[in-house]
Amino acid sequence: MKNNILLSVLISVYIILSGCTGRTGERETISLNGIWQIAEGKKDIMPPVYNHTIAVPGLVTLADPPFENAAPPVPDRTVIDKNPDLFYHQQDSLRDAYWYRRTITISEDIPEIAILKVGKAMFGTKVYVNGTFAGEHLPSFTPGYFDLKNFLHNGDNELVIAVGSCRNSLPQDVPDGFDYEKQRYISGIFDNVDLILSGTPFIKNVQVAPDIKNMQARVQVLLNNPGEAKNSEVTFIVKESKSGLVAGEYKTENLEFSKNAEKIVDISIPIANCTFWSPDNPFLYNLEVNTSSDSYITRFGMRELRFNPETRMAELNGKPFFLRGTNITLYRFFEDSLCKNLPWNYQWVRQMHKKFREDMFWNSYRNCIGFPPEEWYNIADEEGFMIQDEFPIWYGAPEWNTWIKKIDAENLAVEFREWMQERWNHPSVVIWDSNNETLLTEPSIDSAIAKVRSLDLSGRSWDNSYSTNRAPNDIYESHPYHYQNADFKFKDMTKASIVPEGNHHKNPETYPVIINEYGWLWLNRNGATTTLTAKLYDNLLGKNSTAEQRWELYAKYTAAETEFWRCHRQVAGVLHFTALGYDRPDGQTCDNWLDVTNLVWEPQFYKYVRDSFSPVGLMIDFWDETVKKGSKTKIPVIVINDLEKDWSGMVSFSLLKEDKPVQQKQLSILVKQYGKSEPSFTMDPLNEPGNYTIEVTLVNTPFGNIKSIRNFKI
């Protein structure tokens, strides 16, 4: 009875669209987010009854009442070599599709342009209007656009969207978000749904490419005129986002648009009092584009990120810039028991970004194996983060297993184009990342990149993972997992190369390097080891270690490795893995939240790792775990400065035994802008056996007192 009452209420919920005709120079974008009806069923048979409700955007696991066994787990993730068919075919035996339904009421005639945009939906999208099939979009991670002009009418309209229930709903040559670690692949419309109404000529896409040197923005507009021939000026206004002050204007002559024609307008607009976008000052502009019957607003930042061909380091707006950051594995978090609606609670998302910056000094992150909802990028633009945006492909190299996904390069290029067009005005997106740890040669991901690279007027660098096919400033992706070897010890860092490896191919040392994974020390949120780290912790701490001991070791070792990669200055970026993931007893990785819902860090991680990412940071370049009794020992230190200004201050050395100072020394140093300094201390001979701690502290930096710590025994 309760469900029947709810459905009756839903049927009476309408979107009232008025004023759709006779408008000049504007479009109407109607959000269709909110509560929809939803049902499960066959892939091509519309269900007779919708007896569940769901919030859009979201995942089908949020339906009310819940569906039985929504997103069933893959049969066995450990049998890929023995039975790859089991691994690929994540069959949902209970349903083929989920069907979403709502009613739209339009009070006036349908304008020349009526387009439905489904931001992102897994797995494949089919749209029906008033019972008639209106179009299909197979990709799961890029927007689908559906022309509804000939399907909508004045009055009530039934809109139905069907999405595949599982990965197996897609053809084998379409990327499906496969991930060796994922257990559940959850369907749903997980990004915004909008109805776009407009006259013509219609503004189909706008790309803004900042030109920092000339203080201007290059703007390329794709215009479409599916209606009758007409003339129209195209006007451009650039405004500061916060103040609304006009910073630039441009108007074309009266342009002629023939019937069913497309036209590209490519112009440059000088920006008055141009303010650059950066993580420290995420200054944004709005661009308003208008034709006689359409309008379009996009946001951008005056920002250029390049990699110096000599230093192979990043330069932001012409100045050195060091990427310090983390990873977000959102599609893994989707299957976390605490995920619920958090990814669509944008206050929670913004707070997480703030904690990244304020607590951990991070200025960047990689969207690992998948894209979040589009609002995440708006938040990153506003909060000042730089994103390596990774397309959800992870199949490894052929020798990893006997099975590897077959991807059609032409189809992949179409998805890459859709991805780029959705993202290219976000100043936060600085690197196109085509895949994670993948080597596909037939057909090649390389050829898909080649088909779309020139579309990006900003010329962003690409990360093509295991491929050797790179343009000069493309990224060499490095995952130097020292502790993947369970017998690796802290003291072995003395033999570790400062040149980062950790790729299927040897580092040629001719490309900029970003380390966006390292460590292999993961613990679940309760302090238990993951399936990848059980033997490691047994070797390092013994079989009876406590959660507290493991958390402390994890934090200290992660901090030390972060210092190692940052202070040797051989990489353009160091990105910790991972700031958001799943927590599963049978999982391989995990994040560092003690309470992910309230964004409370695990305390040891916060205590030790935050200092290792400080913009003014340091490393004790001493890795011995034992010191000979009575010996005089040199303690080298490397101090780095990521800032534009020189830093001078005091460096203090403390030797502690059971938290009590045994030796203390200090010296003054100067570290030039973007540079490093290598002071050292001499530790006086020690004769008393026991456990000791070295603490070297940068005193009163702009980020507080910053420490590096090492433990050893006499």
65 near 52, Cβ under 8 Å?
yes
The radius of gyration computed from the CA coordinates of the chain, to the nearest angstrom, equals: 28
Least confident range from 121-125, 268-272, 465-469, 571-575: namely 465-469
Please tell me the predicted confidence (pLDDT) of residue 9: 35
pLDDT at residue 440, as a whole number: 79
Comparing 251-255, 437-441, 463-467, which segment has the lowest mean pLDDT?
437-441
pLDDT at 14: 42
The amino acid that residue 30 corresponds to is I
3-class state of residue 614 by DSSP:
coil
- Statement: 618-713 belongs to CATH 3.30.980.20: no
| 42 contact partners, CB below 8 Å, separation of at least 6 | 95, 96, 97
Any idea which of 103-107, 327-331, 352-356, 551-555 has the lowest mean pLDDT? 103-107
d(CA 538, CA 535): 5
What are residue 66's phi and psi, to 5 degrees?
A: -65, 150
Question: How sure is the predictor about 75, in pLDDT bands with cuts at 50, 70 and 90?
Answer: confident
The pLDDT score that the predictor gives to residue 467 is 92
Residue 81 confidence (pLDDT): 54
Instruction: For CATH 2.60.120.260, list the domain ranges present in the chain.
Output: 2-197
Per the listing, tokens 């701490």 go with: 541
For residue range 531-557, list pLDDT tens digits in order.
999 999 999 999 999 999 999 999 999
Q: What is the mean pLDDT of residues 325-353?
A: 98
Mean pLDDT, residues 368-387 = 98
Residue 500: strand, helix, or coil: coil
Could you tell me how far CA 56 lies from the centroid of its own chain? 21
Question: 314-613, which class in CATH?
Answer: alpha beta
Structure confidence by residue, pLDDT tens digits, 165-204: 999 999 988 999 999 899 999 999 999 999 999 999 999 9
Helix (H), strand (E) counts: the chain = 10, 43
Residue-wise pLDDT for 584-608, tens only, equals 999 999 999 999 999 999 999 999 9
C-alpha span between 674 and 668 (Å, rounded): 18
Structure confidence at residue 7 (pLDDT): 41
What's the rounded mean pLDDT across residues 393-409? 77
Whether residue 562 is predicted with pLDDT greater than 60 in this model: the reply is: yes
> What's the mean per-residue pLDDT of the chain?
93
pTM of the model: 0.96
CATH number for domain 2-197, candidates 2.130.10.10, 3.10.129.10, 3.40.50.2020, 2.60.120.260: 2.60.120.260
> Where do the CATH 2.60.40.10 domains begin and end in the chain?
202-303, 618-713
**Token reading at 11:** 């049927």
Give residue-wise pLDDT tens across range 650-684: 999 999 998 899 999 999 999 999 999 999 999 99
User: What are the backbone angles phi and psi of residue 608, rounded to the nearest 5°?
Assistant: -100, -40
Q: Which residues contact 90 (CB under 8 A, 6 or more apart)?
A: 72, 74, 166, 167, 168, 185
d(CA 593, CA 577): 13
pLDDT, residue 22, reads 36
CATH 3.20.20.370 fits 202-303, yes or no: no
* Cα 131 from Cα 462, distance rounded (Å): 43
